[in-house]
Structure 1
Amino acid sequence: MRNTKKADLPQKVCPVCQRPFTWRKKWALCWEEKRYCSKRCYSMRSSVNRS
């Protein structure tokens, strides 16, 4: 990921707030498991209607 422009970083959409969030260096080892953009969304995950 070195010398990569911010626009070229991978993105995911948070299932709680429906906002896109981009890859961060601190998530390099756990990016595949990352589902929520923040601790707030992680705590609100039970309120999401799972279908």
Structure 2
Amino acid sequence: MPRGTAKRDLPTKTCPVCNRPFTWRRKWAAVWDEVVYCSERCRRNRNKTAEPLAKDAFSPL
């Protein structure tokens, strides 16, 4: 008989930076309500916005 919980049964959230879903981790057990970002990388990039593309960036030759 397997132990633990299946990953599909764990709670999930969506990262506001990358818009990807992420699941609960044991290290977040005590602070799951406070977890907002899926990774340290997204946490660091939370205030950066995508640079607007230049008009000539995708123009055909």
Q: TM-score range by the shorter chain?
A: 0.7 to 0.9
Q: TM-score, normalised by structure 2?
A: 0.71
Q: TM-score, normalised by structure 1?
A: 0.84
Structure 1 unaligned regions, length at least 5: none
Structure 2 unaligned regions, length at least 5: 50-61
Q: Look at both structures and tell me which one has the larger radius of gyration over its CA atoms.
A: 2
Count how many residue pairs are aligned between Structure 1 and Structure 2. 47
Please tell me the residue identity of whatever aligns with 1:7. Answer: R
Please tell me the root mean square deviation across aligned C-alpha atoms, in Å.
1.4
Q: Higher helix fraction: Structure 1 or Structure 2?
A: 1
